[in-house]
Amino acid sequence: MTDQEFPHQQSAHCETGAAASLLRQTGLSLSEAMVFGIGGGLFFGYVPFVKLNGFPLMTYRCRPGGIFSRLTKSLQCSVKQKKYRDKEQSMVELDAMLEQGGVVGLQTSVFWLPYIPPALRFHFNAHNLIVVAKEGERYLISDPVMPELVWCDREDLLNARFAQGALAPKGRCYTLDTPQITDLRQPALRGIKTVCRDMLAPVPIGGVRGMRFMAKSMRGWQKKYGKRRSLSCLAQLIRMQEEIGTGGAGFRFIYSAFLQEAATLFDEPQFEQLAQRLTLIGDQWREFALQATRCCKGRGEVTFDGLAQIVEKNADDEEQFFRELRQLGRQLERDLKTSKRVVAS
């Protein structure tokens, strides 16, 4: 396959972007937002007993690979994937798949990809990209976060495929078969059910309860870490929200776009109203990041207590939002089952 034959599209997030591109190759064209929604990608987690750079882990999405797994399961789309111990064998088999005219998804490390700007490289081993073609000792890559197709030398790609550490890719490659499900209504409802379940879960570290737990913890960061380290912890929170994998506000904007598509899919205007509300909540998360940045830089009179109040307000708004979304999803699921019974009879 050549660069003229592969329709590269830049995406907000690597997992959803790669999945959407691979599905297009099977003949099913879905937007990144629809992929994110069906895959139930929206989440929040505050995990203080898991440390990242010595500070509690915050996450605004489900686990890496979770969106892809839920998406392919809902669409009944078979996934052919493989991990390797032998590095050379992984490249030989990649070359063979490309020679047959296919495109191949890879799990890689951002740090070892030379076309990523140095300032944006970090040790994250679950970055998804698609290999389109090979020319000599270099590979044509469709990386969802890049504006255009890029070239990557064999040695660099090999290093990225076999990086060590958490979520080590171990050379993982994958391809998709043609989905068996093309009616998106049931998969969309299943994705909504998953997100509402996770965001309203009765566990202290996840969903809206996780937000409140983080807000409570923030008020004690200065006493626990001291002034300098507490600001470093806050800086990490900002980075996790705004820079790593799209972040808190960005994921809510993507999910809002999914709800707008759902409004058309089900001819249900309530989805459009919910999408507008979630966009406003996303704006509140963006405002939180702005105020947190001001706090880190010592500008204004922003305090940890004031920041915690913003998070608590977001938690209250999201709890009400997801309760209403869950109720709407259940209603539409009942309607869909009834309509299928009518058709069957």
Q: Report DSSP state, residue 332.
A: H
CA gyration radius, the chain:
21
Query: In the predicted model, what is the mean pLDDT of residues 18-29?
Result: 95
Which CATH number is 14-176's, of 3.40.640.10, 3.30.565.10, 3.90.70.10, 3.40.190.170? 3.90.70.10
Name the token pair of 223. 């006493």
Give the pLDDT confidence of 144-182 residue by residue, as tens digits.
Answer: 999 999 999 999 999 999 999 888 999 999 999 999 999
Comparing 219-223, 241-245, 252-256, 273-277, the range with the smallest average pLDDT is 241-245
Per the CB < 8 A criterion, the answer to whether 198 and 107 are in contact is: no
Average pLDDT, integer, range 258-277? 97
- The gap between the terminal CA atoms of the chain, to the nearest Å, is 47
Can you tell me the distance from the alpha carbon of 64 to that of 108, in angstroms, rounded to the nearest whole number? 12
pLDDT of residue 343: 47
Query: What are the CA-CA distances from residue 229 to residues 118, 150, 275 (Å)?
Result: 25, 39, 37
Q: How many CB atoms lie under 10 A from the CB of residue 310?
A: 18
**pLDDT value of residue 246:** 54
pTM of the shown model:
0.92
61, β-bridge pairs? 42
Q: 23 with 179: CB under 8 angstroms? A: yes
15, 128 in Cβ contact below 8 A? Answer: yes
CA 25 to chain centre: 21
The average pLDDT across 320-324 equals 98
pLDDT value at position 345? 39
Average pLDDT, the chain: 92
SS3 62: coil
State the residue for tokens 């309509």.
339
Q: Is the pLDDT of residue 55 over 90?
A: no
pLDDT at position 2 over 70: no
Q: Is the pLDDT of residue 187 over 90?
A: yes
Q: Where are the domains of the chain?
A: 14-176, 185-339
CA distance 6 to 139: 14
